Amino acid sequence: MNAWYQQTAPQQDVVLSTRIRLARNVASLPFGSRLSRDQREQLDTQVQQALETIHLGDNSLSFLRLDDMDPVERQALVEQHEISPDFAKNPDGRLLVLSQDGSISIMVNEEDHLRIQVLHSGLALKEAYELCNRLDDVLDSQLGFAFDRKLGYLTACPTNLGTGLRASVMLHLPGLQQQKMISRLADTVGKLGLTIRGTYGEGSGVVGAVYQLSNQITLGITEKDAMENLENVTAQIIQSEEQARKALAQNQTALEDKLWRSYGVLKNARLLSSEECQQTLSWVRMGVAMKLLPPIPYSTLNQLLLTTGSASVCKDEGQLLRPEDRDRVRAGYVRKVLQEN
Binding site for a copy of itself (CB under 8 A): 253-254, 256-257, 260-261, 263-265, 267-271, 324, 328, 331
Q: What is the DSSP letter of 26?
A: B
CA 262 vs CA 284, 293, 295, 308: distances in Å:
6, 10, 15, 16
Pick the closer one to a copy of itself by CB: 217 or 320: 320
Shortest distance in whole angstroms from residue 225 CB to a copy of itself: 47
**Helix (H), strand (E) counts: the chain:** 12, 10
Query: Annotated binding site for ATP: which residue ranges?
Result: 17-21, 81, 115, 166-170, 197-202
- Name residue 63's beta-bridge partners: 97
Pick the closer one to a copy of itself by CB: 94 or 330: 330
Contact 73, 46 (CB under 8 A): no
Shortest distance in whole angstroms from residue 251 CB to a copy of itself: 10
How far apart CA 242 and CA 255 sit, in angstroms, is: 15
Pick the closer one to a copy of itself by CB: 46 or 262: 262
Shortest distance in whole angstroms from residue 244 CB to a copy of itself: 21
What is the DSSP track for 159-216? GGTBT-EEEEEEEE-HHHHHTT-HHHHHHHHHHTTEEEEETTSTTS---TTEEEEEE-
How far apart CA 128 and CA 134 sit, in angstroms, is: 10
Shortest distance in whole angstroms from residue 215 CB to a copy of itself: 41
E strand or H helix at 239 = helix 223-248
E strand or H helix at 264 = helix 252-268
Radius of gyration of the chain (CA): 20
φ and ψ of 46, to 5 deg: -60, -40
- Structure-derived torsion over alpha carbons of residues 270, 173, 190, 17, reported in degrees to the nearest 10: -70
Pick the closer one to a copy of itself by CB: 261 or 336: 261
Shortest distance in whole angstroms from residue 262 CB to a copy of itself: 9
Contact 290, 249 (CB under 8 A): yes
Shortest distance in whole angstroms from residue 293 CB to a copy of itself: 10
Shortest distance in whole angstroms from residue 268 CB to a copy of itself: 3
Pick the closer one to a copy of itself by CB: 86 or 324: 324
Query: Annotated binding site: which residue ranges?
Result: 17-21, 81, 115, 166-170, 197-202
How far apart CA 128 and CA 311 sit, in angstroms, is: 27
Pick the closer one to a copy of itself by CB: 198 or 332: 332
Q: Would you give the distance in Å from CA 254 to the centre of its chain? A: 32
Shortest distance in whole angstroms from residue 312 CB to a copy of itself: 20
- Name residue 170's beta-bridge partners: 17, 212
Pick the closer one to a copy of itself by CB: 270 or 291: 270
Pick the closer one to a copy of itself by CB: 228 or 257: 257
